[in-house]
Amino acid sequence: EVSVRGKQLGWSEKVARYERGNMRRILTELYIRDNCHPFKGTVLLWVQVPMWVCVSLALRNCSVGALGPAGNSRWQFSHVQEQFSSGGALWFRDLTAADSTWILPVALGLVNLLVVEIFASQRKMPVSRFQNLVTNLFRLVSVVMIPIAATVPSSMALYWLSSSLVGLCHNLLLRSPAFRRLCCIPRTKSDSDTPYRDMVAALSFLSRK
């Protein structure tokens, strides 16, 4: 934005370079003063994503009966696979088989899409082209996850759905004014007294677009 403003005002390259440096300095001071560096918002992902991948691979190995090196490990993996094959519930009794009804995969896709749309509906300021691109990318990933979840063992699809549901509940809970007061979370100017009603209205508007 400094470059755009510089072109509007006819700044020289030297002045524009000085203003860009000044802007970076001001931003750094704000990050230090308010302890709000943008990187902190991604810290959870650096923990959550590797854990999600590791648990998914572990469930896959248990479901397909991946063999250990020898001896007891082979028996243990085989025993775990037998337990998975009869340890399901409702319509997915066999956790080693894919969900032929597609209920788990479709539910996973719908929950993920709902999470994306909730985030999109909460934006108060005009979004940039890059933000729109990221939102559409997450929408695409949510849809692509449906056929992927339909081809993996039900144990993995169930874990993915459970993880997404926890994330959805977490986001909904953090928008509750009563819960935020209970946790002493400071109120901001963008906070609403009726967040859930506003969310439903925003989602209804998005569905009509």
Residue that has been written with the tokens 């302890």 in this structure: 35
CB–CB of 176/72 below 8 Å?
Answer: no
How many Å apart are CA 107 and CA 206, to the nearest integer? Answer: 20
pLDDT surpassing 60 at residue 74 = no
Q: Which of 41-50, 139-148, 178-187, 198-207 has the highest mean pLDDT?
A: 139-148
Q: What's 127's DSSP letter?
A: P
- Residues near 37 by beta carbon (within 8 Å), at least 6 away in sequence: 31
Burial of 90 (0-12, 13-18, 19+ CB in 10 A): exposed
Assessment of whether the complete model's pTM goes beyond 0.85: no
Q: Can you read off the two tokens belonging to residue 172?
A: 């909904």
- Give residue-wise pLDDT tens across range 52-73: 899 888 888 877 766 555 545 5
Work out the number of other CB atoms within 10 angstroms of the CB of residue 19: 16
The closest of 177, 208, 207, 203 to 121, measured between CA atoms, is 203
Looking at residue 43, its pLDDT comes to: 74
Report helix, strand or coil for 89.
Answer: strand
- Give residue-wise pLDDT tens across range 165-199: 988 888 888 888 888 888 887 777 767 777 777 77
State the amino acid at position 141 in one-letter form.
V
Q: Please work out, in degrees rounded to the nearest 5, the angle formed at the alpha carbon of residue 168 by the alpha carbons of 112 and 136.
A: 35
CB–CB of 77/62 below 8 Å?
Answer: yes
